[in-house]
Amino acid sequence: MRHRLALDLAALPLHGKSWSSITWWGTLAFMLIEGTGFALVIAIYLYLANIASEWPIAAPPPDLGPGTLLTVVLLVSLVPNFLVLRWADRSDVTKVRIALLVMIVFGIVPLGLRAFEFPALHTRWDSNAYGSITWILLGLHTTHLITDLIDTIVLAALMFTRHGHYKRRIGDVQDNGLYWYFVVATWLPIYAILYWGPRL
């Protein structure tokens, strides 16, 4: 097959940002998958609540304390997350390192609070269907908190090595920050359903 030269690509940048980055789209796709999963589990909650004669089943509504506090912490964490993304965009390696350390703290504190949320449900996963669905809903979000924390720790470690100076890391940090937005955003409807659903 003969060729004719029609386009010159040499001047193109070596990295795409956000929607020009492959991993950004990958993160988006992963969010779609996990988001669908969350939506389904919430749908199951509503389904079971709808067919039950009383809801919650054999349990009081969950204590508001730990869950509400966790929600506040997550919302506050959006600020350093936003800053991480902005400083990454400006390729400010030092500030990104600090912000990531802050995000690690904001990853550990919610997990600590989450440990108090489970008993606050006043039911066990094997008590009845209400117990099962509430534990799964909470558990699913917890796995996302854990994986994002590990992700952030590894990324922070990476930023302190020589690899931290390459432009590719900007994309890595941005993908991680994007994913944290997702983890916080998916918590809000879950919080509403778990804590306020039984009180309506």
Partner 1 sequence: MSEARAEAGDRTETLDRDLPPALLEQRLAVTWGTLAGFWGWLTTVDHKLIGRRYLVTAFVFLLLGGVLAMMMRLQLARPENRLLGADFYDQVFTMHGANMMFLFAVPVMEAVGVYLVPLMIGTRNIAFPRLNAFSYWMYLVGGLMLWTAFALDMGPDIGWFAYVPLSGPQFGYGKRSDIWAQMITFTEVAALAVAVEIVVTVFKQRAPGMSLDRIPLFVWAMLVTSFLVIMAMPAIMVASTSLILDRLVGTHFFNPAEGGDVLLWQHLFWFFGHPEVYIIFLPAVGMTSTIVTTFARRAIFGYVPLVLALIATGILAFGLWVHHMFATGLPRLGESFFTASSMAIAVPSGIQIFCWIATLWLGRPVLAVPLLFILAFFATFVLGGLTGVMVASVPLDTQVHDTYFVVAHFHYVLIGGAVFPLLGAIYYWFPKITGRMMSERLGRSAVGLLFVGFNLTFFPMHLLGLAGMPRRVYTYPAEMGWGGGNLFVSASAVILAAGFLVFFIDAIRSARHGAPAGDNPWDAATLEWATPSPPPSYNFAFLPVVTCANPLWDERDALPVATGLRVERRELLVTSAAEARPEARESSPRNSIWPLLSAIATSVMLIWSIFSPWAVVWGSIPIGIALIGWFWPKGTPEDDA
Q: How far is the CB of 14 from partner 1 (least distance, A)?
A: 6
CB proximity list for 78: less than 8 A, separation 6 or greater: 181, 184
Distances (CA, A) of 33 to 15, 28, 39, 74: 26, 9, 10, 22
CB proximity list for 70: less than 8 A, separation 6 or greater: 110, 113, 114, 117, 187
Whose Cβ is closer to partner 1: residue 68's or residue 132's?
Answer: 132
Whose Cβ is closer to partner 1: residue 85's or residue 133's?
Answer: 133
Whose Cβ is closer to partner 1: residue 110's or residue 131's?
Answer: 131
Q: How far is the CB of 68 from partner 1 (least distance, A)?
A: 26
Whose Cβ is closer to partner 1: residue 26's or residue 65's?
Answer: 26
User: Hunting for tokens 């990295």 — which residue is that?
Assistant: 15
CA 69 to chain centre: 17
Q: How far is the CB of 162 from partner 1 (least distance, A)?
A: 8
Both tokens of 26, joined, read: 């990958």
DSSP assigned state of 63: P
Whose Cβ is closer to partner 1: residue 115's or residue 163's?
Answer: 163
Q: How far is the CB of 161 from partner 1 (least distance, A)?
A: 8
Whose Cβ is closer to partner 1: residue 75's or residue 94's?
Answer: 94
Q: How far is the CB of 96 from partner 1 (least distance, A)?
A: 13
Residues within the interface to partner 1 (CB under 8 A) = 1-16, 19-22, 25-26, 29-30, 32-34, 36-37, 40-41, 44, 47-48, 51-52, 57, 91, 93, 125-133, 135-136, 150, 154, 158, 163, 165-168
How far apart are the C-alpha atoms of 115 and 105, rounded to whole Å? 16
Q: How far is the CB of 38 from partner 1 (least distance, A)?
A: 9
Other CB atoms within a 10 A radius of the CB of residue 164 amount to: 18
How far apart are the C-alpha atoms of 58 and 92, rounded to whole Å? 54
